C-alpha cells in the first residue's frame, strides 16, 4: 500500500461542516486513524470523540497527526492547504472549484515544503483493510495487490467494484483529481506502486484532455517492471468540448483517446475499450 498506511494519523479540516462531519463518520467506521479535527472557533469541542482544535498548529502540539484531509469551501481552501502543508507530510484536498491560480500557489508551496498533496477535486485515497482519506464508498473495495490510479472518481468506483466482484483486491486506490492543476500526478503514484511490495499490478484510469497519460506511458516504458493496464474515458467526445472535468478538453491531435492509447500501447500497456474489460486484462497481466 502507498500514501496511507498504519502510521498515517489524520486530521480533518472542516470537520464540523456538512461534508466534513458526514465523511469523518464514514472514515472512522472504516477504522481510519483520525486524531483531530480543525474548525476555527470550535476548539475545545469534539466530534464522535475526535477532539477539535482552532488551528493545525494547536492540533500538532496535542496529537501525533501527520496528514490532513480538507473539506472546506473553495474560497477558504488555499488558506487551509497552506496551513496543513506547513505542518504535515500528506494533504488530501477534496474541495472542488478551487481557482487555478490558487491551486498553482498551493502546489508551489507544497514543493517548497516537501509535502505530498493529493487533489484538489479528488475522491481521495483508500488502502483496503487500513483506512481511507476520502469520500469513496468502502463496500466496493477489497484488500489485495492491484493498485488503482485515476483522474475520475466514478470510474475508480466502477472499476474497483468490477475487480472486487471478480475476487481481485486492491492495495491502494488513488484519485489524483480532475482539475488542470493537481498536486500528485500519474508518474508520482506509478513510482510509488513500482516500489511497493504490496502491489503486483496497476490499473491506470485516464480520460481525454491534456498529456498526463502520454507522460505516464513514457515513465511506464522506461521505469516500470510491474504490469500496467488502462482504460481511457471519453472515446466519443467531440474535439474542443469539455467533458466533465476541467482538464478533459481535446485540443488538435493531442489529448484524444487515440493518442493516449497509442502511447500506452507503445509502452506495453493494454488499453480496455470498456471498463468491464479491465478484469480480464488484469488477470492476463498478473
Which whole number is the average pLDDT over 20-34? 97
Residue pair 202/187 in contact (Cβ under 8 Å)? The answer is no
Q: Residue 210: which pLDDT band, with cuts at 50, 70 and 90?
A: confident
Strands 34-38 and 170-175: unpaired
Amino acid 237: pLDDT: 59
Which whole number is the average pLDDT over 61-78? 96
pLDDT at 248 over 60: no
The full set of domain ranges for the chain reads: 10-118, 136-285
Burial class of residue 114 (count of CB atoms within 10 Å of its CB; 0-12, 13-18, 19+):
exposed
CATH of domain 10-118: 3.40.50.720
d(CA 66, CA 60): 8
Amino acid 71: pLDDT: 97
List alpha helices for 167-275, DSSP H.
Answer: 186-194, 212-223, 257-266
Phi, psi of 237 (to 5 degrees): -70, 135
pTM of the model: 0.93
140 or 244, greater pLDDT: 140
Amino acid 91: pLDDT: 98
Q: Which three cell numbers stand for residue 237?
A: 467526445
Fold of 136-285: Rossmann fold (3.40.50)
pLDDT at 239 over 90: no
Which residues are known catalytic residues? 245
Q: Which three cell numbers stand for residue 182?
A: 493537481
Nearest Cα neighbor of 269 from 255, 284, 254 is 284
Amino acid at each position: 500500500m502507498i500514501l496511507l498506511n498504519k502510521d498515517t494519523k489524520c486530521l480533518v479540516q472542516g470537520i464540523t461542516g456538512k461534508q466534513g462531519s458526514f465523511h469523518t463518520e464514514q472514515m472512522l467506521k472504516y477504522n481510519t486513524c483520525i486524531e483531530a479535527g480543525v474548525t476555527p472557533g470550535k476548539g475545545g469541542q469534539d466530534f464522535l470523540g475526535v477532539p477539535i482544535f482552532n488551528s493545525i498548529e494547536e492540533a500538532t502540539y496535542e496529537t501525533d497527526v501527520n496528514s490532513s484531509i480538507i473539506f472546506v469551501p473553495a474560497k477558504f481552501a488555499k488558506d487551509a492547504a497552506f496551513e496543513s502543508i506547513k505542518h504535515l507530510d500528506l494533504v488530501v484536498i477534496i474541495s472542488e472549484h478551487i481557482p487555478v491560480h490558487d491551486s498553482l500557489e498551493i502546489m508551489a508551496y507544497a514543493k517548497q515544503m516537501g509535502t505530498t498533496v493529493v487533489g484538489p477535486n479528488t475522491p481521495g485515497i483508500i488502502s483496503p483493510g487500513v483506512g481511507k482519506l476520502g469520500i469513496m464508498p468502502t463496500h466496493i473495495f477489497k484488500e489485495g495487490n492491484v493498485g488503482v490510479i485515476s483522474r475520475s472518481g466514478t470510474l475508480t468506483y466502477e472499476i474497483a467494484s468490477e475487480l472486487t466482484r471478480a475476487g481481485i483486491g486492491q492495495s491502494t486506490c488513488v484519485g489524483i483529481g480532475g482539475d488542470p492543476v493537481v498536486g500528485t500526478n500519474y508518474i508520482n503514484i506509478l513510482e510509488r506502486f513500482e516500489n511497493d511490495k504490496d502491489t503486483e499490478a496497476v490499473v491506470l484510469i485516464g480520460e481525454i484532455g491534456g498529456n498526463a497519460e502520454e507522460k505516464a506511458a513514457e515513465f511506464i516504458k522506461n521505469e516500470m517492471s510491474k504490469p500496467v493496464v488502462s482504460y481511457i474515458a471519453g472515446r466519443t467526445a467531440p474535439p474542443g468540448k469539455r467533458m466533465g472535468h476541467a482538464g478533459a478538453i481535446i485540443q488538435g491531435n493531442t489529448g484524444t483517446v487515440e493518442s493516449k492509447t497509442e502511447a500506452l500501447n507503445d509502452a506495453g500497456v493494454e488499453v480496455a475499450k470498456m471498463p468491464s474489460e479491465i478484469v480480464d486484462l488484469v488477470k492476463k497481466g498478473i
